[in-house]
């Protein structure tokens, strides 16, 4: 289970989500880690990654066709 979030956490929607898309992802800085969640269901929780793993994930996704 994820630890409780600080009320100061600023979730940001991915710029790739678009204005009318249903596949929306949000990210937030979580004290040295990065949180990733579904913007349509934020109460379902979030995935927490170390910054280095988040960077690796982004690099991997960017290399996909």
Report the number of distinct structural domains present in the chain: 1
The torsion angles phi and psi of 56, rounded to 5 degrees, stand at -65, -40
The answer to whether position 41 is within a domain reads yes
Say if residues 27 and 12 touch (Cβ distance below 8 Å).
Answer: yes
> Considering the entire predicted model, what is its pTM?
0.73
- Render pLDDT for 4-63 as a digit per residue (tens, 0 to 9): 555 688 999 877 666 666 678 899 999 889 999 998 888 999 999 999 999 999 999 899
Say if residues 49 and 30 touch (Cβ distance below 8 Å).
Answer: no
Task: Output 48-56 pairs: Cβ under 8 A, ≥24 positions apart.
Answer: 48/2
The answer to whether position 21 is within a domain reads yes
What is the reported pLDDT for 19?
A: 63
The whole domain housing 22 covers 12-62
What is the reported pLDDT for 1?
A: 44
Measured CA angle at 39 (ends 36, 44), to 5 deg? 75
The answer to whether position 54 is within a domain reads yes
């Amino acid at each position: 289970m994820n630890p409780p979030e600080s009320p100061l956490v600023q979730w940001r929607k991915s710029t790739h989500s678009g204005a009318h898309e249903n596949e929306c992802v949000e990210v937030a800085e979580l004290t040295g880690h990065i949180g990733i969640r579904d913007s349509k269901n934020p109460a379902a929780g979030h995935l927490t990654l170390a910054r280095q793993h988040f960077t690796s994930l982004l690099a991997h996704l960017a290399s996909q066709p």
